[in-house]
């Protein structure tokens, strides 16, 4: 089957079946002029649309309409280019019969034509249309800095962030934090737009922008985050997200401001929790002493966060203050205290830690204490901030012994692993810690 037979099948229509833009085919020069005008118009429209879409438009719907019109123009220009190229390649007869639709009996010298052997070159013409599409689209891309690709990558979010509807702005911020959109979030214009949203008129938008600034590590937003943190008229969630973001950014000025605010936050447990969480996220060493001084004055729901932040500070000089705390029969407090002891104790506490391990009932289980952060979709999609891990209390003391790395702790762990009377979870943890000793670097004792 030759190409002419193929085009006569039901699979593909011949170019003569369409007659699209046939009025332009009155002459070859007219086709050439039309092709030039089409390219110039399409490129000019692209330049105007690209600037509006990328830098001014606040409507996604309007952008879709403008880009759709541009694609129609690109197709029509490519079609005219193919018509002009076909008239040049296959001659005037092809132009008159195929593009203008003249019948053979109207042509000059019709008796000399072999009508059966005339080819309308449908498949090659489609190839020219495809080539015209590539050429036109490439020309548009070069003159508009690939605005369509840039809009698909990140321009959509910029448009939403310019929307007059706060819900659209929040949706853009939530979406851009998704891990699989990291390339879009890395664009300088997107980062600048999220930072600008920290000064939005709507508190909800500012809250989400603070949240995003922490997760995207937008250091440019630090001044606005500090301002939100210190704004007593702002909603609690906005201040909380500002504190968390400054913690994730490990901002020195934010650290100083949060430490200074700790004492005055007593009586406001939500703000105290936010400040301590931010300081813990940045592993603030300077926060260790003021947090330790607040122990005993904190409500039960805040104390686990304080112990967690103390542990993050790695302040071994505070070990005696932490050890002096008596949790009594309060299991939650004991579990939170044990979390801190894993990180502030030294080799001098080794014997005491082992005694604690032996004295605790084997089945004493700690419940998790976590903070479920804001999320781009479902809170379960986000890794929570865990203040207390859900595990056996004795496991926490075993890790504390492991961390201080005093002499003989390898044999101690081996003894636990081989002891069949021990809880399975404790034995499995002992096995994991021994594997770390084999595969990890040398661990000097913590003095």
Pull the structure tokens for residue 326. 């008596």
pLDDT at 24: 79
pTM score above 0.85:
no
Q: Which of 371, 370, 373 is nearest to 207 (CA)?
A: 373
CA distance 351 to 287: 28
Pull the structure tokens for residue 289. 């002493």
CA distance 396 to 416: 14
Q: What is the distance between the terminal CA atoms of the chain, rounded to a whole angstrom?
A: 87
pLDDT at 14: 54
Per-residue pLDDT tens digits of the chain, which is 447 residues long: 444 444 444 344 455 555 567 777 788 888 899 999 999 999 999 999 999 998 899 999 999 999 999 999 999 999 999 989 988 998 888 888 888 777 765 445 554 545 556 677 888 999 999 999 999 999 999 999 999 998 988 899 999 999 999 999 999 999 999 988 999 999 999 999 999 999 999 999 999 999 999 999 999 999 999 999 999 999 999 999 999 999 999 999 999 999 999 999 999 999 999 999 999 999 999 999 999 999 989 999 999 999 999 999 999 999 999 999 999 999 999 999 999 999 999 999 999 999 999 999 999 999 999 998 888 876 566 788 999 999 999 999 999 999 998 888 899 999 999 999 999 999 999 999 999 888 878 788 888
Strand-strand pairing, 369-371 and 385-388: antiparallel
Residue 345 φ/ψ, nearest 5 degrees: -85, 165
Q: Which of 231, 183, 188, 187 is nearest to 207 (CA)?
A: 231
CA distance 61 to 57: 10
Pull the structure tokens for residue 63. 């952008």
Pull the structure tokens for residue 272. 């105290």
Give domain 165-248's CATH number out of 1.10.3470, 1.25.10, 1.10.287, 3.30.70. 1.25.10
What residue ranges do the domains of the chain occupy? Answer: 3-145, 165-248, 250-303, 315-447
pLDDT at 248: 97
pLDDT tens for each residue of 4-15:
444 444 344 455
Asked if residue 441 lies in contact with residue 435, where contact means CB atoms within 8 angstroms, the answer is no
Pull the structure tokens for residue 107. 């042509």
Which own/partner pairs from 333-336 qualify as long-range (CB within 8 Å, at least 24 positions apart)? 333/300, 333/303, 333/304, 334/393, 335/304, 335/366, 335/367, 335/369, 335/388, 335/393, 335/396, 336/303, 336/304, 336/307, 336/308, 336/369, 336/387, 336/388
pLDDT tens for each residue of 66-121:
999 999 999 999 999 998 998 899 888 888 888 877 776 544 555 454 555 667 78
């Amino acid at each position: 089957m030759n190409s002419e037979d193929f085009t006569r099948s039901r699979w593909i229509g011949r170019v003569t079946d369409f007659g699209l833009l046939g009025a332009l085919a009155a002459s070859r020069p007219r086709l050439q002029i039309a092709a030039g005008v089409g390219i110039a118009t399409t490129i000019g429209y692209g330049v105007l649309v690209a600037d509006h879409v990328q830098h001014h438009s606040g409507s996604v719907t309007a952008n879709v309409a403008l880009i759709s019109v541009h694609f129609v123009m690109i197709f029509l220009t490519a079609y005219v280019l193919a018509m002009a190229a076909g008239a040049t390649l296959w001659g005037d007869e092809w132009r008159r019969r195929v593009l203008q639709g003249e019948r053979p009996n109207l042509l000059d010298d019709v008796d000399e034509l072999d009508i059966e052997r005339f080819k309308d070159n449908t498949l090659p013409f489609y190839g020219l249309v495809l080539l015209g599409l590539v050429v036109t689209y490439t020309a548009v891309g070069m003159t508009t800095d690939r605005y369509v690709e840039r809009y698909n990558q990140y321009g959509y979010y910029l448009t939403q962030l310019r929307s007059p509807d706060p819900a659209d702005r929040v949706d853009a911020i939530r979406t851009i934090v998704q891990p699989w959109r990291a390339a879009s979030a890395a664009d300088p214009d997107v980062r600048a737009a999220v930072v600008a949203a920290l000064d939005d008129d709507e508190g909800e938008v500012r809250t989400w922008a603070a949240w995003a600034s922490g997760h995207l590590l937008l250091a440019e937003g630090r001044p606005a985050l500090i301002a939100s943190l210190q704004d007593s008229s702002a909603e609690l969630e906005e201040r909380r997200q500002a504190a968390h973001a400054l913690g994730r950014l490990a901002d020195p000025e934010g650290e100083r401001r949060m430490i200074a605010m700790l004492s005055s936050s007593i009586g406001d447990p939500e703000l105290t929790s936010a400040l301590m969480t931010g300081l813990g996220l940045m592993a603030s060493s300077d926060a260790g002493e003021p947090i330790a001084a607040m122990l005993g004055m904190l409500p039960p729901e805040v104390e686990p966060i304080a112990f967690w932040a103390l542990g993050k500070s790695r302040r071994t000089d505070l070990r005696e203050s932490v050890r002096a705390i008596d949790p009594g029969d309060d299991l939650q407090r004991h579990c939170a205290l044990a979390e801190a002891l894993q990180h502030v104790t030294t080799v001098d506490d080794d014997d005491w830690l082992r005694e604690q391990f032996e004295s605790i009932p084997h089945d004493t289980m700690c419940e998790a204490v976590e903070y479920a952060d804001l999320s781009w979709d479902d809170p379960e999609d986000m890794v929570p901030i865990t203040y207390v891990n859900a595990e056996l209390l004795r496991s926490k003391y075993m890790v504390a012994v492991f961390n201080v790395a005093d002499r003989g702790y390898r044999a101690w762990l081996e003894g636990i692993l081989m002891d069949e009377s021990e809880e399975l979870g404790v034995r499995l943890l002992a096995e994991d810690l021994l594997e770390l000793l084999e595969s990890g670097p040398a661990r000097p004792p913590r003095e």
